[in-house]
Structure 1
């Protein structure tokens, strides 16, 4: 278990996103989007599970509630080289609930434990749980500790806890990421009272400073939307979180490092917009960020759009930075 990870995010943390995040941090653990067992067992596995080998360490998150299917899907994930297999016990969407997986499984800790035991028996890589602190009217302390203890009995030692309840009725998935109050102290207490376990915290973490504060209390921190919308912040993770004696990766360096992946993916038939959409927030807060987003968004969707679109967007950022620097020295020159 790493001290820092980027969350599994539906429609976001795909293979292209993970390759971008990897050029920003060599150490962060990266997660796939949630993939259902049915999709793994019966779908286009290469499209769903394939990834660039430079992404390691990388974890596969599964959605499901049938132990045999989860065991089979975990084996397939292990065969694809994933370093960890994670079970989603936190997603609150209606579609996930109707499939009897995700956050609604907080109500069925015995079933979750059975699923985890089956997965653990099927693979040699670690199997982990990502959960909420409860759902609806559950008592969070009772729900979280019960789920954890039953999974520990099944052989699980690592838990990623989104420190909010999920409201399965009355709130949308988006609202469930913001509206239920965060209870970080409960997750800290879980670590204190179960010190032998590896506990990572997730939910509402805005950046590296906050991650370092959480690491005073738990073993790991998982960033979600902040890492996606402001990907540039990941450039400081290797130095600040992992203590490596390396310079931070700037957004400009990240583009250059990501460039070979873009070119390789284009040659394999992937569309530019699907690759570069994950880069839109890379220059967040810097001069030229708006032009960067506009060029990638507008020109990246064209038929046959290629690496020249990225070069044009990068030139716009460089020009904006130079103009700001020129303005900054004008008073001194006068």
Structure 2
């Protein structure tokens, strides 16, 4: 019997390949204490056989944090889920939405929408081994599937296996003909279909994902769904996360200032630098911190032009350059 998670999915930051690694999540957590964070997709084989500390390690401040797994072998996924639970993750999420070639060649990700019975086997195997929630992130369909049928049938089959939380990217995935980047924008969004799913299955938690660009847009979905997930918008303009706790979790705390976040991350860079981490591995997630604010161009330029410089004071330099530019304006 799975334990009920003490944290909600009211606002989530989407798992993003080459994006939401431990450094990115630490950065995001400085702006929101309550949003649920997700790892990049980690394959079951990597979780079992790879460098676990490198792939799965995370800072205690990241909670609530979920491990997203990729795979289609029930036994391997069950083993990987136990590894994730042992590491202290709050949730195991199965990727049934990624359309990349690498994922397709491994027979997992979005192509699993075609085999809901296999997904049901996978989640059943994981649930049998862990006490934390096992959730699924999916699309509304793939290729020539009729979403009206594919989404409802898929959710029915997987819910019958015990899954109670579904994160639905409200687009189809085209496994042939569109790149992963195009699959994030080209297939039309169908929020109404996912609304109908939620109305038909009030017993399930349905979190909406896809095409949501601002906190105000996200807040408008809370009347219809159990939660909202933002991906690229939160990554490209991360300071919007500073509005999350007040908007979605009724927090009365004053949001941190951008400059204070930069100073906190500077201390983090210095600590990680002592452990052999290249500063660019961290600062690359921070390019958009000042998006839309005075000095943003100077900030972006400094970090981009100094990406290869092995200096642990790189953020101090960027902050100084930006402040000088602001003072001169």
TM range (shorter): over 0.9
- 2:203 matched to 1:196? yes
- How far is the alpha carbon of 1:300 from its aligned partner? 3.4
- How far is the alpha carbon of 1:38 from its aligned partner? 1.1
Following TM superposition, the consecutive aligned residue runs of length 4 or more in structure 1 with deviations greater than 3 angstroms are 320-324
Quick one: which of 122, 140, 159 aligns to 1:115? Answer: 122
Instruction: State the match for 2:311 in structure 1.
Output: 305
- 2:243 matched to 1:236? yes
- How far is the alpha carbon of 1:260 from its aligned partner? 3.0
- Maintained 8 Å contact 2:174/2:183: yes
- Maintained 8 Å contact 2:9/2:207: no
Show structure 2 runs of 5+ residues with no match: 1-7
- Maintained 8 Å contact 2:39/2:67: yes
- Maintained 8 Å contact 1:236/1:249: no
- How far is the alpha carbon of 1:257 from its aligned partner? 2.9
- Maintained 8 Å contact 2:71/2:109: yes
- Maintained 8 Å contact 2:263/2:315: no
TM-score after normalising by structure 1:
0.94
In structure 1, what is the Cα distance between the partners aligned to 2:153 and 2:293? Answer: 46
Instruction: State the match for 1:322 in structure 2.
Output: 327
Is the partner of 1:160 in helix, strand or coil? Answer: strand
Instruction: State the match for 1:126 in structure 2.
Output: 133
What number of residue pairs does the alignment pair up?
Answer: 322
Instruction: State the match for 2:230 in structure 1.
Output: 223
In structure 1, what is the Cα distance between the partners aligned to 2:255 and 2:248? Answer: 11
In structure 2, what is the Cα distance between the partners aligned to 1:185 and 1:24? Answer: 31
Instruction: State the match for 2:191 in structure 1.
Output: 184
- Maintained 8 Å contact 2:266/2:316: no
- How far is the alpha carbon of 1:253 from its aligned partner? 2.1
**Which one has the largest radius of gyration?**
1
- Maintained 8 Å contact 1:32/1:60: yes
In structure 1, what is the Cα distance between the partners aligned to 2:166 and 2:236? Answer: 25
In structure 2, what is the Cα distance between the partners aligned to 1:235 and 1:257? Answer: 15
Is the partner of 2:180 in helix, strand or coil? Answer: coil
Instruction: State the match for 1:328 in structure 2.
Output: none
1:57-93 CA distance string (max 9 Å, x none):
1000000000000000000000011100000000001
- How far is the alpha carbon of 1:272 from its aligned partner? 0.3
TM-score after normalising by structure 2:
0.96
Is the partner of 1:201 in helix, strand or coil? Answer: strand
Show structure 1 runs of 5+ residues with no match: 325-334
Instruction: State the match for 1:26 in structure 2.
Output: 33
